[in-house]
Amino acid sequence: MKIVWASTPSQEQEICELVRYLYSNVFPQYFSDHEIKRFEKLKVLYTSQKKFEEIGTLKDAFEVMTSIQTVISILELPYLDKRYSALFNKNAATLNDFGLYFPFEFEQFETVKNINKMTLSIYSKADNELLI
């Protein structure tokens, strides 16, 4: 008999928050709003109850969270360094293995770093939430 611990609702919520963070804080640094909207249509990192059933175990949920956090950490570096290429691609593959579509490779981000740095995006979090 083997005991398997199922992923918890709080882990599922954390995964959803990490995906939202990628869309609102990381992707706008690299892609236009049009491209990000296309990612949504393509269901890049799409999370649903069915996806969470596929992730299933506590260990799997931690792997997914760690992979997303690693991707975020690498992409938020001031300058992308080639030495993180293998780590990025490994974590991207892990996300795909768990059914979270992530069709990117490190090289795609290398060429566009800082192009959209000063561009406003509808996906970005508002700098000022209160307008008077």
Global pTM reads 0.81
- Predicted confidence at residue 56, as pLDDT, reads 76
Domains held by the chain: number: 1
Q: Is 121 part of a structural domain of the chain? A: no
- CA distance readout (Å), 44 to 33, 38, 41, 56, 115: 14, 9, 8, 19, 21
- Predicted confidence at residue 111, as pLDDT, reads 73
Q: Is 124 part of a structural domain of the chain? A: no
- Predicted confidence at residue 54, as pLDDT, reads 75
> Which whole number is the average pLDDT over 73-95?
94
Q: Is 26 part of a structural domain of the chain? A: yes
Listed residue (88, 101, 76, 66) closest to 22, CA to CA: 76
Q: Is 49 part of a structural domain of the chain? A: yes
**Does residue 75 register a pLDDT over 60?**
yes
Q: Is 78 part of a structural domain of the chain? A: yes
> Which whole number is the average pLDDT over 16-28?
95
Which residue range is the domain that position 101 belongs to?
Answer: 9-110
- Predicted confidence at residue 114, as pLDDT, reads 47
Which residue type is seen at 52? F
Q: pLDDT class for 39, splitting at 50, 70, 90?
A: very high
Q: Is 125 part of a structural domain of the chain? A: no
Q: pLDDT class for 2, splitting at 50, 70, 90?
A: low
End-to-end Cα separation, the chain, in angstroms: 62
- CA distance readout (Å), 120 to 14, 91, 110: 26, 28, 21
Q: Are 45 and 102 in contact (CB under 8 A)?
A: yes
Q: Is 59 part of a structural domain of the chain? A: yes
User: What average pLDDT does the chain have?
Assistant: 84
